[in-house]
């Protein structure tokens, strides 16, 4: 008898993505795995919230932050409410296509992985963009690898997948884009079995709404050093006010844990 499929909690941080939010939700909904889609709107001002109120319901759960807290804050909100076997980070800007998710799940389904990163630099098709962004990504990944002793090719990837029990052991502290070096450092400290899989990538430029800047790259260096060299207890920021749009979220079964 075949095993039941893994249930997915797809956590999507959103900030001012009115132009893409309907399309990315439709793409995620097309996945055939049992799933819940947890969309955390981090204080959008461009009409995204109104669209999300229309989309909420069924497998789509929507949460509103009362104020902008950054990607890390949105991830904390989503992770705390996830109920699936595998927790997946999904950006809302169409740079990463959910059609890659089934391949990313393969190391979990074979029982080999605790964490899977989707790498933009392992041969998948990608849009050709800024050379210096590519250099910056490589520098940050190299510095992270020096500190964690992992051999990742893409620490800053938008596709990161975790077994639920891994996330349950991690307290996130970062607010903005410090999420990526922080989660990588803490995964390494837990000695998780980490895999990488190639993914496609359709990068945006700044004219198309890309939000990360060189300042975030500089901050990432500080976060890499901070989270890999400090033995202090985590200082988790104060909770942010969260409104759940869907008062009765759809039930998601976890058959692999509850036979």
**Hey, where are the domains in the chain?**
8-232
| Separation of alpha carbons 191 and 169, rounded Å | 12
| 79's tokens | 């992770």
Integer-rounded Cα radius of gyration of the chain = 17
Q: What is the pLDDT of residue 102?
A: 97
Using CA atoms, how far residue 142 sits from 60, 150, 225, in Å, is 37, 9, 12
The fourth-level CATH superfamily of domain 8-232 is Spore Coat Polysaccharide Biosynthesis Protein SpsA; Chain A (3.90.550.10)
Q: Which residue do the tokens 């807290």 mark?
A: 69
Using CA atoms, how far residue 83 sits from 51, 137, 169, in Å, is 24, 32, 15
User: Which one, of 72, 44, 18, lies nearest residue 216 by Cα?
Assistant: 72
Strand partners, 238: none
Q: What is the pLDDT of residue 63?
A: 97
- In eight-state DSSP terms, residue 214 is H
CB 204, CB 93: distance < 8 Å = yes
| Separation of alpha carbons 185 and 152, rounded Å | 12
Output the CA angle 232-136-183, nearest 5 degrees.
30
pTM as predicted: 0.87
pLDDT along the chain (259 residues), means of 10: 82 96 98 97 96 96 93 94 97 95 97 97 72 84 97 96 97 87 96 97 62 73 89 72 72 53
Q: What is the pLDDT of residue 250?
A: 59
Q: What is the pLDDT of residue 169?
A: 96
């Amino acid at each position: 008898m075949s095993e039941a499929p893994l249930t997915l909690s797809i956590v999507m941080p959103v900030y001012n993505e009115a132009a893409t939010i309907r399309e990315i939700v439709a793409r995620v909904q097309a996945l055939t795995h049992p799933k819940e889609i947890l969309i955390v709107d981090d204080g959008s001002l461009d009409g995204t919230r109104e669209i999300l109120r229309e989309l909420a319901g069924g497998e789509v759960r929507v949460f509103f932050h009362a104020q902008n807290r950054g990607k890390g804050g949105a991830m904390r909100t989503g992770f705390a409410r996830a109920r699936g076997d595998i927790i997946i980070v999904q950006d809302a800007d169409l740079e990463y296509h959910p059609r890659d998710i089934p391949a990313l799940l393969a190391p979990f389904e074979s029982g080999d992985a605790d964490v899977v990163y989707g790498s933009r630099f392992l041969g998948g098709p990608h849009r050709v963009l800024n050379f210096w962004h590519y250099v910056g990504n490589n520098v940050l990944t190299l510095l992270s690898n020096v500190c964690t002793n992992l051999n990742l090719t893409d620490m800053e990837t938008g596709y990161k997948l975790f077994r639920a029990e891994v996330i349950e052991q991690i307290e996130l502290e970062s607010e903005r884009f410090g999420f990526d070096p922080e989660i990588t450092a803490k995964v390494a400290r837990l000695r998780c079995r980490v895999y990488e899989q190639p993914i496609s990538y359709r990068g945006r430029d700044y004219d198309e709404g890309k939000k990360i800047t060189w300042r975030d790259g500089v901050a990432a260096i500080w976060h890499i050093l901070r989270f890999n060299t400090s033995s202090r207890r985590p200082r988790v920021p104060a909770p942010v006010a969260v409104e759940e749009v869907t008062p009765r979220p759809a039930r998601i079964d976890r058959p692999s844990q509850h036979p």
